[in-house]
Structure 1
Amino acid sequence: MRRLVALLALCAAGLAAAEAEDFPGIRKLMSPDEFEAAGLNKLSEAERRALDAWLLRYTAGEAETLRNTSDEVREAKQEVRIEARVRAPFEGWSGDTLFYLDNGQVWQQRLDGRFAYNGKEREVVLDKNFFGFWRLTHVATGRRVGVTRVR
């Protein structure tokens, strides 16, 4: 249960800037395997909506404070960071983009969103958000997208 609460807390922090209508909900934030492993598939639609509402409220309030005051959270954040370059050509992302990195890893866009890019900078940083979900940040522009590792 503690792990589930921590996972939910990590998810909400990455959404702190989102407004209610932009909030994708817990089902979309997690992979189907993670969703099932956490037992969230057993929730009714009303229970899932209540959880989504709590995540949104938590994100808007306590999540930022916890990120800045918890030594445990700060240490965990420092442990998970990958710096790499996306193999050329890099033109941003468009919904289900695969990112082939120079270190051999392959990541897939996890959240909806589009970003068109026509520059030459391909440096990216992958790190986990407050809920433990991976995000890819294009260093030159600061644009971010949720991703899942494919291999």
Structure 2
Amino acid sequence: MPVRSILLAASLLFAMPAFAQQPIEAQMTPEEFAAAGLDKLSAGELARLNAWLNRTIEGETTRATTETRAKVAEENRGFSALGPSEPIEARISGGFDGFARNREYTLDNGQVWRQIDAATLAGVRRDSPSVRITPSVIGKAWFLTIEGYNTRAKVVRVR
């Protein structure tokens, strides 16, 4: 095989998009193709239309994949090793009556966390306080603190 043919084949291989759909003329019936006026296009115009469709589909697929990964990661924050480990800042929905083992805290972002240690914050009553939930430096533990207090409770995400 001549070097020129090998180079041409290699360049075509690398020029192909990662995801190539069938040409539009193969996806439509001849009647649909004609009704859309696409039968009036030259071979070059049709090739440019198919290239544009491939770029559009590839771009939309990449965007949708990125958005979905970000959504899944955010929804899984605090569950095991899934999701990002940045602190979560929110408010407790409703009243806060101190820390107690097995107490659940529902946040305004929809997350629900359960206290799993014996930390206490006796006598503290607040309506919708701001909270910060931070991951431990080592391990997979998370700690909840109430704005204005230094006591922290070890929590796990329930929902």
Considering Cα pairs closer than 8 Å and 6+ residues apart, tell me whether 1 or 2 has the greater RCO.
Answer: 1
Rg (Cα) greater in structure: 2
**TM-score of the aligned structures, taking structure 1 as reference length:** 0.45
Q: TM-score scaled to structure 2, two decimals?
A: 0.43
